[in-house]
């Protein structure tokens, strides 16, 4: 009983000292502080008590999170660090759009209030390939970032149950290539980085387009990437990744999660890799209504994947079994199959459409 009492007193004293140190800390708490406290032997509960006690300036980029993990920081502490950084960002965003007080308004009556500029608040998502083998203290070595790529959107009246069916249909792939060649022109019409190609190929066996009518036919939309190979070669046939889209302004972190999909190359000499296909109305790409369930019937070749959520918008991703040779991509997909999109957002590469169009590719030998 006395021993238990002494331990309780010691714990309270440690917490008091730690929180007292935190309150007297003049510099913001950083990742290095978390690592130093961990290596000095402070318990998880003590570090968790310190984090909310003082202002912090945490780096929650994939590399920083990997470094903390490699230094022995527990998962609960990492989660608390991510939560603190996210709360700080959200608070800053709220402050930037909060109305001025009456006194402030009166003192600057000659100055018109302007909407807050939030363009700098969005952080591009990051996907990094983890080392094939890792040991304590060397986790961050061999980390390779993947570049974000935007899909091209094409329209076809061909229907298939698999991406291979579209890729092996010569008429479809020829028209897709024609669409890719005219995509720059179409892109000027639709804007953004995801271009709607193939709309000028209406004579290819009636494959693309049709006369305007009161009733729009159902067609297939194809998401594809140019080129036959990725610039990134996987370090093994069972790669691991760190995915972070927590600060991306285009996505609600609870509505999407990452996945690994196999890309299907089209027939030579065309240089396209199919990412997925979905049914939709002929004019879906021009509609601003959020009524297209693009993912409810989406066709994609999803690879066996292990998904581990570290924090909102932060995931660890790994192939759950060795991947066969070929082209692959990391994509962000809705948690709900019934999520609805605006076709115009998909075609113009904006909003949730930009999230759905984004791919990070790699090759497995």
Domain membership flag for residue 199: yes
143 touches 193 (CB < 8 A): no
Q: Which two tokens stand for residue 176?
A: 């897709």
Task: Tell me if 118 is assigned to some domain.
Answer: no
Give pLDDT tens digits for 214-243: 456 789 999 999 988 998 999 899 999 999
Same domain, 71 and 178: no
Query: Is residue 105 included in any domain, yes or no?
Result: no
- pLDDT at 149 (0 to 100): 95
Q: What is the pLDDT of residues 312-352, one digit of tens each?
A: 999 999 999 999 999 999 999 999 999 999 999 999 999 99
Q: How far apart are the first and last CA of the chain?
A: 63
| Alpha-carbon torsion (79, 81, 87, 93), positive or negative | negative
Looking at the structure, do residues 171 and 68 belong to the same domain, yes or no?
A: no
Could you tell me if 70 and 178 lie in one domain?
Answer: no
- 223 and 87 together in one domain: no
- Evaluate whether residue 251 is within a structural domain: yes
Domain for residue 64, yes or no? yes
Summarised one tens digit per residue, pLDDT across range 121-137 is 568 899 999 886 544 44
Clarify whether residues 151 and 291 are in a common domain.
yes
Please check whether residues 149 and 280 belong to one and the same domain. yes
If asked whether residues 162 and 267 sit together in one domain, one would say yes
Residues 183, 279 within the same domain: yes
Please give the model's pTM, rounded to 2 decimal places: 0.62
Determine the pLDDT at residue 178: 61
99 in any annotated domain: no
**What is the DSSP track for 319-357?**
ESSPPPSEEEEEEEEESSTT--EEHHHHHHT-HHHHHHH
108 located within any domain: no
Q: Are residues 226 and 315 in the same domain?
A: yes
Confidence at residue 25, expressed as pLDDT on a 0 to 100 scale:
53
Full strand arrangement of the beta sheet holding 126-129: 144-146, 126-129, 240-244, 314-319, 305-311
Domain range enclosing 43 = 2-93
Residue 98 within any structural domain of the chain? no
Q: Number of folded domains in the chain?
A: 2
Does residue 172 sit in the same domain as residue 27? no
Q: Are residues 86 and 191 in the same domain?
A: no
Buried/exposed code over 167-180 (b: 16+ C-beta within 10 A; e: otherwise): bebeebbbbbbbbb
Q: Token pair for residue 99?
A: 């109305």
Say if residue 48 is in the same domain as residue 174. no
């Amino acid at each position: 009983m006395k021993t238990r009492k002494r331990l309780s007193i010691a714990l309270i004293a440690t917490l008091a000292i730690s929180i007292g140190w935190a309150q007297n800390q003049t510099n913001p708490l950083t990742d290095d502080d978390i690592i130093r406290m961990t290596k000095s032997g402070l318990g998880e509960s003590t570090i968790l008590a310190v984090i909310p006690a003082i202002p912090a300036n945490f780096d929650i980029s994939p590399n920083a999170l990997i470094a903390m993990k490699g230094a022995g920081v527990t998962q609960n502490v990492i989660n608390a660090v991510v939560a603190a950084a996210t709360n700080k960002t959200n608070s800053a965003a709220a402050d930037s759009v909060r109305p001025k007080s009456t006194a402030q308004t009166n003192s600057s009556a000659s100055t018109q209030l302007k909407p807050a500029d939030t363009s700098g608040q969005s952080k591009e998502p990051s996907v990094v390939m983890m080392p094939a083998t890792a040991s304590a203290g060397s986790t961050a070595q061999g980390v390779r970032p993947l570049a974000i790529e935007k899909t091209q959107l094409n329209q076809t009246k061909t229907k298939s149950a698999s991406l291979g069916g579209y890729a092996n249909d010569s008429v479809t792939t020829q028209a897709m290539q024609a669409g890719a060649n005219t995509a720059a022109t179409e892109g000027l019409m639709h804007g953004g980085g995801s271009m709607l190609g193939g709309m000028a190929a209406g004579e290819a066996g009636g494959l693309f387009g049709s006369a305007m009518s009161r009733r729009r036919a159902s067609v297939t939309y194809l998401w594809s990437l140019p080129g036959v190979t990725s610039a990134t070669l996987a370090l093994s046939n069972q790669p691991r990744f760190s995915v972070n889209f927590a600060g991306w302004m285009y996505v609600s972190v609870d509505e999407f999660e990452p996945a690994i999909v196999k890309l299907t190359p089209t027939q030579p000499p065309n240089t396209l890799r199919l990412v997925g296909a979905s049914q939709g109305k002929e004019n879906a790409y021009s509609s601003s209504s959020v009524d297209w369930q693009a993912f409810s019937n989406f066709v994609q070749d999803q690879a066996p994947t292990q998904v581990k959520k570290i924090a909102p918008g932060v995931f660890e991703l790994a192939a759950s079994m060795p991947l066969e040779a070929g082209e692959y991509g990391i994509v962000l997909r809705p948690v709900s199959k019934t999520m609805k999109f605006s076709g115009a957002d998909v075609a113009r590469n904006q909003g949730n459409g930009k999230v759905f169009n984004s791919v990070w590719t790699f090759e497995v030998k």
